[in-house]
Amino acid sequence: MPRYALKVEYHGGPFAGWQRQADQPSVQGAIEAALAKLEPRDHTIAAAGRTDAGVHALAQVAHCDLEKDWTPFRLSEALNYHLKPDPVAIIDCAQVDEDWHARFSALERRYFFRLLMRRAPATHDKGLVWQVSQPLDADAMRAGAAHLIGHHDFTTFRSTICQAKSPVKTLDALEISEAQGLAGPEIHFHLRARSFLHNQVRSFVGTLERVGAGAWAPEDVKCALEARNRAACGPVCPPYGLYLAGVGYPDDPFA
């Protein structure tokens, strides 16, 4: 059976997350339903990462196995037709080897987070950013973030329901930049690692927001990390500003 890699963009707002749910809408369920319109049977697809409810994707990667030989262009066009009106789009498609796996072949995941700073409620960006009412000190946040980069036990920053076998991970990058968005000033977070723990990114951002607001000192982030205790974590921020921005592979199937 031919295997296809799918690059997927979606708005996470209407979904209970990526993973198929018996009684709630999911991104995986929407794509599998679209595949069933093309080849009527049960379909199971695998993804590079399982995003939570409300989390978005700019370039999630999944793979599917089909009986028919499709050209990648025709497959993506057909899926996009049957995905309407769900806010899910196949933005690229490629045929891959039968042993290629969207999750296990991946070398890294990249996440992007948008934090909007303004008092008036967001309108056009509602559900796409985390909004705080006060300005934040980006330099202090960078100083706090520096303590998180590298190989650490991230117990403090993992959900209590995280299913990962080990809390030890390597965070390759956590870059913080300032931007002027159409709705107002924003703080952007760019994170890169081979894999992430459940709620790790949102725990980082929520904690660093406390640093930017002056409630925490940058050195408090190091203390929280070294505590290896979930109770030492700052607030976990909402999912709305989080995006799965990309997945890296030894050979890019979409190149």
Active-site residues: which are they? 52
Give the closest residue to 48 by CA, choosing from 34, 69, 27, 33: 27
Q: Fill in the DSSP letter of residue 52.
A: B
Question: Between vectors from CA 195 to CA 137 and to CA 173, what angle results, nearest 5°?
Answer: 35
Residue 100 burial (C-beta neighbours within 10 Å; 0-12, 13-18, 19+): middle
By the 8 A CB rule, do 114 and 170 touch? Answer: no
The first and second tokens of residue 213, run together, are: 């607001």
Q: How far apart are CA 53 and CA 141, in angstroms?
A: 26
By the 8 A CB rule, do 117 and 213 touch? Answer: no
Half-sphere exposure in the Cβ direction for 78 (13 Å, CA): 14
Only one residue has tokens 């999750």, namely 103
Q: How far apart are CA 69 and CA 1, in angstroms?
A: 8
